Copies of this chain bind each other. A is one copy, B any other.
Amino acid sequence: MLSKVLRLIRDRWPRYLEEVREFLRMPSISATGEGIEETASYLEEWLRERLGAKATLLRYGGHPIVYGHLNESSPYTLVLYSMYDVQPVDPIDQWTSHPFNAEIVEGRIVARGAVNTKAPLMSMLLGVEALRDSVGIPVNLVFVLEGEEELGSPSMPKLIEDRRRELSAADGAAFIIATEHERGKPLVELGCKGIIFLELECRTSTYDVHSSLVQAHYNPVEILANVISSLKGVDGGVKVEWLYEDVVTPTREDLEYLEDLMEAFPLDKLRELYGVRELRGRGRDLYIEVFFKPSINVDGIVGGHYGPGTKTITPSHARAKLDIRLVPNMDPSRTLERFMEHLSKLGLREIVKVKVHDMYDWSRTSPRSPIALAAVRAYEDLGMHSYVIPTVTGSAPFYLFTKALGVPIVAAGPGYGGRAHAPNEFIEVDGVRRLIEYTAALLL
């Protein structure tokens, strides 16, 4: 059966590759809305015309969710979750080719969305089509393609409520992505961290004040710097104990998969991928810290004069953005409350305004769930050895499946790519082909 599908994919490969690149050339930046509607409509039409699915755009106040059904009268139903939005492209001057040209450079497609997650999304759809056109699809499919993942998926909880009956009846869910951090080492990802994305703002005057008067009042940059340094030290370590109070990972089961994790996910590669100057640790300890412990990170800060030359002012206001990553068994609301208490203890709760942009819970799927086993088998059918890892470091709305619906979800797929959210994001061309094949194999 599989060989017939693979033959068809090889026949169509040049066309399929072009189709993935074409999709990457459509901007779909959820932060600004650029290209979002066009991309959503394109996908809706694709599901209908290419797969013969029932498809519609669901709106819950934000960017549309492309929602589709392909009923194959099977006793089994699988949800295919994915996201069609991407992060902004700045700093644009660091890209070696335009982020929406999808140029092929040394065997890699370079584009915003190349790895996260538009090339995998289109590959998944092409895989479904190839399967249907060769041997037929043996399961019912529900497509959930959202356009707000990079904004914290604000519409997804509403979708889950709205379509609870059909979605909770599914046997499993999959998010097809390019999981290889080391070429040829694909993953079955069982979980992810939660996240709280915060913006802090402090204003101490209407206008910037002449800096010679700084002792007379308060400097908002200095206030935010004190908030940040109360959370993180010069060594990059978290300074607040409350962050760890509900943490139970790594569990004994997590540690069983630690070798897999270390082999599949070379942290040392950060030097090459991002030009990281220095790592904070090595070996087991570093992996446990990065994969199984919560984190706090400052995503950006701005305040006062930052152009060329000098300007002697005490800034009127400053803003900083922070993300906190959560692991089992932390509770996002409780962590947020702890953060607010922390501000209170610094005496800054009234002075520093806190805006909560996103809040995701963490998620875990059992390695013994049918979808996890199927994901491993699909790799084997294609002659690949895969690594099962309990969690990724990133965040995704998987908790909506596992916790709100009780449907196990995995993220899986071959393919090597990198620089998600950064300039020169890429995916290897060969990975695109294998993603198409993998989707077909998973559904068989």
**A residues adjacent to B (C-beta < 8 A):** 30-32, 87-88, 90, 94, 150-152, 193, 195, 197, 203-219, 221-226, 228-230, 232-234, 236, 267, 270, 273-281, 286, 289-290, 293, 295-316, 318-321, 323, 325, 346-348, 357-358, 392-395, 419-424
Contacts and interface: CB of A to CB of B under 8 A. Distances in A.
Given A226-B228, A274-B316, 17 more contacts: A31-B308, A32-B309, A150-B310, A151-B310, A204-B278, A208-B422, A213-B290, A216-B280, A221-B298, A222-B232, A229-B230, A299-B311, A299-B312, A300-B306, A305-B321, A312-B421, A313-B421
Nearest to A315: B300
Contacts of A316: 274-275
Given A213-B270, A280-B217, A290-B215, A275 B305 contact: no
A438 to B, nearest CB: 23
Given A205-B275, A236-B219, A301 B301 contact: yes
A304 B299 CA distance: 6
A319 B151 CA distance: 27
12 contacts: A31-B309, A31-B311, A90-B307, A207-B273, A207-B274, A210-B394, A214-B296, A215-B280, A298-B314, A299-B312, A302-B306, A311-B321
Given A213-B270, A422-B210, A152 B310 contact: yes
Contact of A218 (B90, B217, B278): B278
Contact of A205 (B204, B276, B280, B424): B276
Contacts of A320: 221
B232 A229 contact: no
State how many copies of this chain the complex holds.
Answer: 2
Nearest to A352: B234
Contacts of A205: 270, 274-277
A307 B274 contact: no
A87 B311 contact: yes
A298 B421 contact: no
A340 to B, nearest CB: 16
Given A300-B311, A313-B422, A222 B236 contact: yes
Q: Which of A206, A234, A320 has the most CB of B within 10 A?
A: A234
B213 A232 contact: no
A60 to B, nearest CB: 18
Contacts of A392: 212
B212 A395 contact: yes
A234 B348 contact: yes
B299 A310 contact: yes
Contacts of A197: 310, 312
Contacts of A230: 229
A221 to B, nearest CB: 4
B88 A311 contact: yes
A390 B233 CA distance: 41
Contacts of A302: 301-303, 306
Contacts of A422: 207-210, 313
A420 B213 CA distance: 12
Contacts of A267: 213, 216
6 A-B pairs with least C-beta separation:
A206-B275, A300-B304, A212-B393, A302-B306, A225-B228, A229-B229
B217 A298 contact: no
A44 to B, nearest CB: 24
Contacts of A94: 207
Nearest to A239: B226
A321 B267 CA distance: 33
A204 B276 contact: yes
A236 B215 CA distance: 7
Nearest to A230: B229
A210 to B, nearest CB: 5
